[in-house]
C-alpha cells in the first residue's frame, strides 16, 4: 500500500490507524460496502482503477460473508458454553474457539490482500493524498 495508508480515517476506510474491515455482525457487509463507496466517492477513478476497485469491493464483501459465518459459529458455541449454569466454561475450549476465530479473520483478510494491493497500488500520489487524514489542530 502507498503512503498515507496509516491514517485514522479516509472516507470511512480507516479506524484508529487500521483498515476497518471485518466484523461479527449481520450488517458487516453493508458497512464494508458503505465504507468502500465513501472511499470511491473521494477518488476520481480512471476506468482501469474502477475495475480494480470493483474487484476489491467484491473481494472485501465476500471475505466479510465468509468471516461472519465462522465468527457466528464460534460466538454461538461460546454463548452456549457460558449459558449453562451447571457447566463452567472450559478455558481451554474457549481459547481454542478464539484461535479458530482469529484464523478465520486472518484467512478472510488474506483473501482481500491481492485485490486491495492491486487497487491501492494503482492510485496516483494525488489520490493517495486524499486518503491522508486532515490535521484538525495543525496550528495549535
Q: What does the DSSP assignment read for 43-64?
A: S---HHHHHHHHHHHHHHHHHH
In a domain? residue 111: yes
List beta partners, residue 104.
none
Q: Is the model's pLDDT at 45 over the cut of 80?
A: yes
Contact between residue 130 and residue 120 where contact means Cβ atoms under 8 Å apart: no
Q: Does residue 77 form part of some domain?
A: yes
Query: Which grid coordinates belong to 66?
Result: 465468509
Assess whether pLDDT exceeds 60 at residue 42.
yes
Residue 136 in any domain: the answer is no
In a domain, 63, yes or no: yes
Q: Number of structural domains, the chain?
A: 1
pLDDT of residue 11: 41
At 29, list the grid cell: 457487509
User: Is residue 6 pLDDT above 50, yes or no?
Assistant: no
pLDDT at position 29 is 86
- The rounded distance, in Å, linking the Cα atoms of 14 and 5 is 8
Would 3 be classed as within a structural domain?
no
Which residues span the domain enclosing 99?
14-129
Amino acid at each position: 500500500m502507498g503512503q498515507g495508508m496509516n491514517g485514522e480515517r479516509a472516507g470511512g476506510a480507516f479506524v484508529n490507524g487500521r483498515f476497518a474491515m471485518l466484523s461479527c455482525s449481520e450488517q458487516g457487509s453493508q458497512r464494508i460496502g458503505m465504507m468502500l463507496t465513501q472511499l470511491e466517492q473521494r477518488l476520481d477513478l480512471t476506468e482501469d482503477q474502477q475495475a480494480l476497485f470493483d474487484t476489491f469491493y467484491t473481494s472485501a464483501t465476500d471475505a466479510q460473508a465468509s468471516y461472519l459465518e465462522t465468527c457466528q459459529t464460534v460466538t454461538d458455541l461460546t454463548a452456549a458454553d457460558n449459558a449453562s449454569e451447571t457447566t463452567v466454561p472450559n478455558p481451554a475450549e474457549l481459547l481454542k474457539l478464539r484461535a479458530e476465530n482469529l484464523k478465520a479473520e486472518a484467512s478472510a483478510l488474506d483473501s482481500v490482500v491481492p485485490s486491495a494491493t492491486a487497487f491501492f497500488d494503482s492510485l496516483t500520489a494525488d489520490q493517495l493524498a486524499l486518503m491522508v487524514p486532515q490535521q484538525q489542530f495543525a496550528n495549535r
